[in-house]
Amino acid sequence: MWIWKNKNYAERNLKNYISLDGFPKIQGYNLDKEFDFKEFIENYKTMGFQGSNLGIAISIFQDLVEKKVPIFISFTGNMISSGNRELITYLVKNKLVKGIVTTGAAIEEDIIKCIKPFHLGSFEAKGSFLSENSIGRIGNIFVPFDRYFYLEKFLNELFPALYQKQKENNKILSTSEVAKEAGLLIEKNEHTSEKYSESFLYWASKNNIPVFCPGITDGAIGDISVFFKNNNKDFAIDITEDNKKLTSLLMNQEEAASIILGGGISKHFLLNAAIFRDGFDYSIYLTTSAEFDGSDSGGNQEEAISWSKIKPDAQRVKVVADATITFPLLISSIIYNRKLNA
């Protein structure tokens, strides 16, 4: 290159270089030695690119669990469509989260998976062929339509119970109260009772961990609620009560952390509630959304800081990668440590 041919130019500019001796060296895991999972996980910090961001996320998460900082998690419905459902259930079952914000799809699919499974398919499957054979596709996950037949049966038992409670208490139930009643019913319903222990809703209800769902009517729950309301005109779900409930819950925490899988309404609902405490003290984003188009889903923590949703001095990181890759690594890092210390 011409720069190095010009010796005087090169020497003059090299004198101005700062020393990087204090910076970590980029280095991958040494597979020539005996494999150690803890070292493997910790090595992500020096991988570079998003691997290093994942390493930071793992470090923050381990610190949160060790210090018992209240963790609030938000996730989109596709996280329950995927195998991340089992990891979320683990967190809820073991009381490692203080509150949950999610979507109507997540609630529906958690119920459905207690009845029948979803199946691995293909991103390239032809839509018309799947439609003709009564199969829906979520990415490369296939969902036979008969699952919604059983969901309807479940909801037809849930809604009368919700309505009865509304009349008895003379109070419209909030989305978190609806989610709790759904979780309790999963254990008793004839279609879901066999696999109730696999449900994050069940464990949230059992452990009194609120599940907030600001978009609860966006999906099958909304569809069935319309039919139910036709015959019960005063039936309703209060979508405003949970704003107060989540805000109050956050205000009562000395410190609070957010872990956000994906974006959408669940991400913003959680972050927005933290404004009244001047933001979260810790924050981990796992997402594939980019911020160039101004969407809230892709916005980084610096943007959230500008709205007082995250504190300026918060420990924070955004990992831009598929959460079905990053989330299992994040959770497995603390499961490994818990087993060592058991």
**Annotated catalytic sites, by residue?**
309
**3-state SS, residue 63:** helix
Token pair of 265, please? 């309404």
Helix crossing, 175-188 with 241-251: angle to 10°?
90
Concatenated DSSP letters of 4-43:
HHSHHHHHHHHTTPPP-TTSPPP----TTSPP-HHHHHHG
Residue 215's φ and ψ, nearest 5 degrees, are -110, 40
Which alpha helices (H) appear in the chain, and where do they start and end? 2-5, 7-14, 37-42, 49-67, 78-81, 84-93, 104-113, 127-132, 146-169, 175-188, 200-206, 220-231, 241-251, 264-273, 301-306, 323-341
Instruction: Quote the crossing angle between the two packed helices 146-169 and 104-113, to the nearest 10°.
Output: 110
- For 183, half-sphere exposure in the C-beta direction (CA atoms, 13 angstrom radius) is 26
Facing residues of 238 across strands?
174
Give the N- to C-terminal CA distance of the chain in Å, as an integer.
Answer: 58
